[in-house]
Chain A
Amino acid sequence: MVEVETGARRSRQRPRRAEAVVETRGLTMRFGGVTANENVDFRLEAGELRCLIGPNGAGKSTFFKCLTGQLTPSEGTVTIRDLDVTGADPHEIAGLGVGIKTQVPNVFDGLSVQESVWLAARRAHGAARAERLTADTIERVRLGDIRTRVVGSLAHGQRQWVELGMVMASEPWLVLLDEPAAGMTDEETVFTADLIRELNRTTSMIVVEHDMNFIRAIAARVTVFHRGAVLMEGTMDEISADATVRDVYLGHKH
C-alpha cells in the first residue's frame, strides 16, 4: 500500500516523467561482513540508455547481478515493470523479455554461432520466426561468414558479438549489459557502440562500463557507483566536470 502511494505521489510531482521499467528501493547486498551495495535507489525509464560506472569494487557488478537474478539482495526490492522480481531466478527474469549479457563472456563454446543465436530466438518465438530472426541477427552482428564455426574457436571480440547477437535475437524490451566492450580493439568497440545505439531504438538499456570514450560514443546518462552506493547521476559532461567523481576515479583524498 505504502509503495503504491509513494509511486502515485512521485508521478504527481513529476508528471512529465516516463514510466519506470526498472526500479530498486533500498537495495542492499551483504557478503558476510562486506557490504557490496548499500541502500541503492535506482530508476530506469522506458527507452533510456543508462551507464553504470565506478572504480573497481564500487558494487556495479553486484548491483547488476541483483537485477539479473544471479544474486538475491539481502534487503530492498527490485521491480521490473511493476513486477516485484526480488529473488527471482535468472530464467524467470529473462522470461519477462529481458536480454542479459554478463561480464565474463558466457557463450556456448561447443555450439555453432548459428545454433547459439537460434537458441535465443527460439525461446520466445515459433520455429519459423526463430529461423528468420536467427538469419537476420547474424547479419546484423556481421558474423555471416563464420555462422557454422564453433563459438569456442572464435576470437574474443567475435565471442562478445555472439553474446550480443543472442541478446538481440531474443527481441528483448529491456537489455542489461555488463562491460560489452571489455577487451575489444578500438575498431571492434566502435562497431559495438553502433550495435548498442541501434538496440536502444527499441529497448531500454542498462550498461555497466569502464571505458569513458565508449560511454560518450553511446551518449548515455550515467550513474556513478562508489563504495556500494550511488554517488551521483547525470550526463557524461556533468559527471566528468564533477570534482568528487574525479577524486574517486583518480584516488585524490581531501
Chain B
Amino acid sequence: MSRGEQTRLWALGLLALAFMFGAPEVLQLFTIINLTTAIALALLALSLGLIWGHGGILCFGQTAFFGLGAYTYAVWAQNFGETTGGVIAAIAVGAGFAAALGYFIFYGRVSDVYLGAITLVVTLVFFNLIRRTSGPEYKIGDALLGGFNGTSAPPLSLPWDSSAVLFPNQVFYVAMGALILCYFGCVWLTRTHFGRVCAAIRENETRAELLGYDARLHKLGLFAVGGGLAGLAGVLMANGVGRVTPDLFNLGYAAQAIIWVIVGGRGTLIGPILAAFGLFYLTAWLGQQGTLDLNMVLGIVLILFVLLLPRGVVPAAMSLAQTRLGRTRSLKRSRRNAHRNGRRSPGRQRPSFEPAE
C-alpha cells in the first residue's frame, strides 16, 4: 500500500467517524431516520461494488440477498423477540443463498451475460412470490408475511438485554458503524491474497486458471461475501423503514444498485457508497418537487454517465487530481532544473517523470 493511499484511508475513516458522532447532534430526528435508510442502500451498493467492481461478477439481482436478509431479520425478531440472532441469521441467509446460487452459476460455467439474467430473474421471482403471501396461512412461526403490505420489522435491541430497544438515533450509530466496518473490511479483503486473485480473475479468468488458481472457487467465495453484506444491508433497511415489503426484491432497487456502482465507479469501493447517498437524496428531493418522473431522471443519469463518464465519478476525480498534482510537481521540478541550468524559460521540456496512469 502506498503512503498516499494510506493517508487517504485514514482521512476517510476519520471523516466517517466524525459524521457518525456529529450527525445526531446537529440533524433532526427525521433526517437521521432517513439517513439510516440511505446507509442501508449504501451498504447494498458496497456489496455490489465488491463483487462487480472488484470481482467482475455482474449480478443484476443483488436485491435477492438484500430482501432475504431483511425478511429473515423481521421474521426472527417477531418470533424470538430479540434481534442479535436475527442479524446473524440475516447475514448467514444472504451469504448462504448466494453460495448456493453461485455454486450452480460458477460451477455450471454460466457466462457473464446469463449470470446477470439469472440473478435478475431470481430476485423478481422472490418479489412475485412474497407479494402473494397476503393470507393468514402464510406465516413463519408467529410472523405473518403480509403479502404486498409486508411485515413489521422491530428495531434493534441490545444483545444482552432484548427489552432495551434502540432509539432511532442509536440505530443510526449502529448502521453507520456497520457501514464503516464493512467498508474497511472490504478494503482489507481486496488487499489479501484472495482479493488480489479475484481481481486477476476479473481481468483474465483463463490466465488466472493457468497460474493454478481455481476461478470458480474464488468467484463463489466473493459472491457469498457479497451476499452476506447485502443481507446485512437488508437488516439496516428493515430498521430504517420499520417494515419489510416485497419491494425490496423489486426491479427498482435492483436497477438502482447497478446505477450506483456505475455512477460511483467500478473498481473503487467508496464510489458506489457515495453514489448511493447522492442519488438517494437526489430522488428524495425530486420526489418533493413532484414535477419529474424519478425513473426517467435515473435513466438519464445512467445514460449520461455511460456516455460521458464511463469510469464513474470517483476514478475520474482521482485521475484528475493526480494529473493536476503531477503537473504542478513536474512544473516545479522543471523550473528548478531550469534555474540550476541557468536557463530563462523551462519551455516544454519534460522531466524524467512517468505520468500517472
Decide yes or no: A150 and B357 within 8 Å by CB, A108-B200, A119-B200 being known contacts. yes
- Report B-chain residues with C-beta under 8 Å of the C-beta of A119: 196-197, 200, 208, 211, 213
Q: Known interface pairs A90-B210, A110-B203, A123-B212. Does A149 touch B357 (Cβ–Cβ under 8 Å)?
A: yes
B214 engages A106 (CB within 8 Å)? no
- Chain B residues near A163: list those with CB within 8 A: 207
B206 x A91 contact (CB < 8 A): no
For residue A100, CB closer than 8 A to chain B, the reply is: yes
**Chain A interface residue number, banded:** 20 to 34
Interface centre among B196, B203, B206 (most CB of A within 10 A): B203
Most buried by B among A68, A90, A95: A90
- Name the A residues within 8 Å of B200 (CB-CB): 108, 111, 115-116, 119
A99-129 residues with Cβ-Cβ distance < 8 A to B are: 100-102, 106-111, 115-116, 118-120, 122-124, 127
Interface assignment of A52: CB less than 8 Å from any CB of chain B: no
- A102, B206: Cβ atoms closer than 8 Å: yes
Distance in Å from the Cβ of A66 to the closest Cβ of chain B?
A: 14
Binary A-proximity of B193-221 (CB < 8 A = 1, otherwise 0): 10011011011101111111111000000
Q: In the complex, which residues of chain A have a beta carbon less than 8 angstroms from the beta carbon of B206?
A: 70, 90, 102, 106
Contact of B204 among A95, A106, A120 (CB under 8 A): A106
Taking a contact as CB atoms closer than 8 A, the residue among B196, B213, B214, B357 that contacts A153 in the complex is B357
Nearest CB in chain B to that of A96: its residue: B212
With a CB–CB cut-off of 8 A, which chain B residues contact A115?
Answer: 196, 200
Taking a contact as CB atoms closer than 8 A, the residue among B202, B214, B354 that contacts A91 in the complex is B214
Interface SS, B side: helix
CB of A147 to closest CB in B, whole Å: 11
Q: Is the CB of B210 within 8 A of A68?
A: yes
Q: Is the CB of B209 within 8 A of A94?
A: yes
1/0 contact string of B209-235 vs chain A (CB within 8 Å)? 111111100000000000000000000
Residues from chain B with a CB closer than 8 A to the CB of A118 are 196
Q: Say if the beta carbon of A139 comes within 8 Å of chain B.
A: no
Q: Looking at the assembled complex, report how far the CB atom of A131 sits from the nearest CB atom of chain B, in whole angstroms.
A: 12
Contact A110 B210 (CB under 8 A): no
Of the listed residues B196, B197, B209, B215, the one surrounded by the most CB atoms of chain A closer than 10 A to its CB is B209
In this assembly, does A89 line the interface, its C-beta being within 8 Å of a C-beta of chain B?
yes
* Nearest-neighbor residue (CB-CB) of A118 within chain B: B196
**Interface residues on chain B, size class:** 20 to 34
Given contacts A149-B357, A150-B357, contact A108 B210 (CB under 8 A): no
Most buried by A among B204, B209, B212: B212
Contacts of B207 in A (CB 8 A): 106-108, 163, 166
Q: Smallest CB–CB gap between B199 and chain A, Å?
A: 7
Report B-chain residues with C-beta under 8 Å of the C-beta of A111.
199-200, 203
Closest to A130 in B: B193
Q: Please give, as numbers and ranges, the residues of chain A lying within 8 Å of B203 by CB-CB distance.
A: 108-111
Proximity bits, A127-170, B CB within 8 Å = 1, else 0: 10000000000000000000011100100000000010010001
Q: Determine whether the beta carbon of B209 is less than 8 Å from that of A107.
A: no
Complex Cα gap A116–B208 (Å): 10
The residues of A that contact B197 with a CB separation of less than 8 Å are: 119
Complexed CA–CA distance, A70 and B215 (Å): 14
Closest residue of chain B to A110 (Cβ to Cβ) is B203
A residues within 8 A CB of B215? Answer: 91
Q: Restricting to B5-44, which residues have a CB under 8 Å from any CB of A?
A: none
Q: How far is the CA of A75 from the CA of B123 in the complex (A)?
A: 43
Determine the chain A residues whose CB is within 8 A of the CB of B209 once the complex forms.
89-91, 94
Q: Give A166 to B257 CA distance when docked, in angstroms.
A: 36
Contact A120 B211 (CB under 8 A): yes
Separation in Å of the A162 CB from the closest CB of chain B? Answer: 10
Beta-carbon contacts under 8 Å, A44-83 to B: 68, 70
5 pairs, A vs B, C-beta closer than 8 Å: A89-B214, A91-B215, A102-B206, A111-B199, A153-B357
Interface residues of A (CB under 8 A from B): 68, 70, 89-91, 94-95, 100-102, 106-111, 115-116, 118-120, 122-124, 127, 148-150, 153, 163, 166, 170
Given A91-B209, A115-B200; 19 other pairs, CB 8 A cutoff: A89-B209, A91-B208, A94-B210, A100-B210, A102-B206, A108-B208, A110-B199, A110-B203, A111-B199, A111-B203, A119-B200, A119-B208, A120-B211, A122-B193, A122-B196, A127-B193, A148-B354, A150-B357, A153-B357
